[in-house]
Structure 1
Amino acid sequence: MTLQEAYNFFERLRIQTTNKAERKAYEKFAHVLSKLKSREFSKNEIQSIEAELDRLNLESTPENGKKYRHKALHKFEKYLRDTFSLTSKGYYSNRGIGLGSSFGILLGVAVLSSFERSLGIAYGISFGMLVGLIIGRKMDAKARVESRVL
């Protein structure tokens, strides 16, 4: 399946669906594909991307098509991240917030336990999320400068 065929497929699905969540997933997949079409890739890289689209078997109609295509989107984004170092907008910020809050809980329990336990955990989560967000934003800005954001 070529990039253009996949893009047309998801645009057709987006128009046909009435479910808001499905429409959003199809729009995101179409957005990723349109950004890929506008990038400069070698012939081998394009063939690799198209082979991955074929491997995802997007045109099949399983029982739960929305869930299947949502998983396919995540697999495709992971493939692009691993192979071409391309990330989606806000990828590092989201990861930073998640990791920061995890480490913040540990910080709140271990270090800030001199406060009331729940207050220490709340401060730890807040501090961890803030640090994670700052680091994530810097990494997102670096990826944007290097043109690695879809």
Structure 2
Amino acid sequence: MTLQEAKSFFENLRNKTSKKSEIKIYDKFIHILTELNNRELSSAELQSIESKLDSLNLTAEKDIKFFKKSLTDFENFLKESLSLISKGYYTGISMGLGISFGVLFGIVFLSGFERSMGISLGICLGMFVGLLIGRNMDAKAQAEGNVI
């Protein structure tokens, strides 16, 4: 399945549905396929992407859970093979890790405050630090041209 065929397939599915959750998944697929189509890819990279689209078996109409899983698999493939990530990828991961470490920091070091106050401050601090680190990494990936 070529990039253009896959894009047409998802545009057709998008036009057939009125559910917001399905439209959101189809729009993500369409966005990724459009960005890949606009990118200067080598023939080997293009062939690997098309073979991955074939292996996902997208041609049969299936439920939204299948397409959601296929989208995740396709994004992971792009990340691993071509080092392409979606917008805000590192911010999301860093904020999650920041919150986790913030809870730990709040329990261990800020326990001098009331217990819930220390945890709350730790979460806020961890989220802020995670946001800073994630935005920095996203900006670096954007400058390198690795963001879809």
Q: Aligned partners of 1:25, 1:147: CA distance in 2, in Å? A: 24
1:1-150 to structure 2, matched below 5 A, reads 1-62=1-62, 65-150=63-148
* Cα displacement (A) at 1:60: 2.5
TM-score (norm 2): 0.97
How far apart, CA to CA, are the structure 2 residues paired with 1:84 and 1:106?
35
CA RMSD, Structure 1 to Structure 2 (Å): 0.8
Structure 2 portions without partners, runs of 5+: none
Task: For residue 137 of structure 1, give the secondary structure of its aligned residue in structure 2.
Answer: helix
Work out the number of aligned pairs and report it. Answer: 148
Deviating 4+ runs (over 2 angstroms): none
Secondary structure of 2:41's counterpart equals coil
Identity fraction in percent: 54
Deviation at 1:66, TM superposition (A): 0.5
Amino acid at match of 1:133: L
Helix, strand or coil for the counterpart of 1:112?
coil
- Between the aligned partners of 1:98 and 1:4, the Cα distance in structure 2 is 35
Shift of 1:61: 3.4
